[in-house]
Amino acid sequence: MARKLSTRKRPARELKPIRSRMKISNKVFDDQTMTVLHYFLSNKRITSLDFPIAQGKEAMVFRATTPTGYAAVKIFKYETASFRKRMQYVQGDPRFKVPKGLRSAVRTWARKEFANLSLCIRHGVRSPRPIAFKENVVIMEWLGVGGIPSASLKDVWMDDPQRMLNELLEDVKKMREAGLVHADLSEYNIVVHENHPYLLDVGQSVLLSHEGSEGFFLKDVRNILKFFKRRGVKMTEEDALNFVRGA
Ligand SMILES: Nc1ncnc2c1ncn2[C@@H]1O[C@H](COP(=O)(O)OP(=O)(O)O)[C@@H](O)[C@H]1O
Ligand SMILES: [Mg+2]
């Protein structure tokens, strides 16, 4: 789960004080990651890495400037505490070899996030369009208003939560049609962009053929319903599941 660095989203000119105050973790910018960032800077995928947006256990997300606007850059940390926990999401997925060793595992998370984002986009799920990846770094479409990142579902006030829930279930359904189960769906991994929900953080998403997929799927739907219940929207689990499964 990502920890917000600031509840108020800051524009670029306030960057400098943030940087000096934050002491950006050395763990993210190890030599290999610097080489990858240099690669993306020299091929002009990005022109600068601007500031951190979120810090999680496994990854940090930054805003970057590109020749045409902005992008989100997700850097998976090699020094991750949740190595073992994440392995279960890769095992049994025929798209990926089970990685040997920590570095190769972390690169597989990044590759998997990129592959899953591509699948989502191809099936019309609202999620950030993947742009590029290399080793432990994924570059994706920027979801923001100008340079300010769009807010997470947990932080937004919704004028029509019922419509938001319907759109979300529509996306969960499309994701299922893409053959994927999100497996970490909650108000923390949904961003409200241009008044629509966008699904993020699909690195751990599994194929329907994964042995745990049905359990993950139930948990995803329950998380969403629980959140919307607190926002005054009631839908039975049965109705939601029937809708998503297309019954
Ligand atoms: N493409 C994006 N555009 C704008 N903000 C993003 C984007 N991707 C991620 N974020 C922000 O970064 C946070 C963490 O991203 P996420 O993919 O969930 O990483 P983690 O694995 O650390 O939880 C999100 O909750 C969101 O606020
Ligand atoms: Mg997340």
Domains and CATH numbers, the chain: 3-148 (3.30.200.20), 149-245 (1.10.510.10)
Query: Can you spell out the DSSP letters for the chain?
Result: -PEES-SS---GGGHHHHHHHHT--TTTS-HHHHHHHHHHHHTTS-SEEEEEEEE-SSEEEEEEEETTEEEEEEEE-SS-S-HHHHHHHHTT-TTSPPP-SHHHHHHHHHHHHHHHHHHHHHTT--SPPEEEEETTEEEEE--EETTEEPPBGGG---S-HHHHHHHHHHHHHHHHHTTEE-SS-STTSEEEETTEEEE---TT-EETTSTTHHHHHHHHHHHHHHHHHHTT----HHHHHHHHHT-
CB neighbours of residue 173 within 10 Å: 16
What is the model's pLDDT at position 99?
85
CB neighbours of residue 210 within 10 Å: 20
What is the model's pLDDT at position 7?
56
Give the integer Cα–Cα distance in Å for 171 and 177.
10
Q: How many Å lie between the centroid of ligand 2 and the Cα of residue 188?
A: 6
Q: How many Å lie between the centroid of ligand 1 and the Cα of residue 101?
A: 26
Query: Is 93 annotated in the active site?
Result: no
Provide the residue count of the chain. Answer: 247
Give the integer Cα–Cα distance in Å for 45 and 137.
12
The finding on whether 73 has its CB within 6 A of some atom of ligand 1 is no
| 163, amino acid identity | R
The finding on whether 54 has its CB within 6 A of some atom of ligand 1 is yes
Give the integer Cα–Cα distance in Å for 48 and 67.
10
What is the model's pLDDT at position 10?
56
Give the integer Cα–Cα distance in Å for 75 and 139.
9
The finding on whether 172 has its CB within 6 A of some atom of ligand 1 is no
- Mean pLDDT in order along the chain per 10 residues (247 residues): 56 51 62 96 98 92 98 91 79 88 91 98 98 98 97 97 98 97 98 98 96 97 98 96 90
Task: For residue 25, give both structure tokens.
Answer: 């973790």
Q: How many Å lie between the centroid of ligand 2 and the Cα of residue 124?
A: 21
The finding on whether 192 has its CB within 6 A of some atom of ligand 1 is no
Query: Is 50 annotated in the active site?
Result: no
Burial of 30 (0-12, 13-18, 19+ CB in 10 A): middle
What is the model's pLDDT at position 198?
98
What separation in angstroms does the CA of 154 have from each of 20, 206, 223?
28, 24, 12
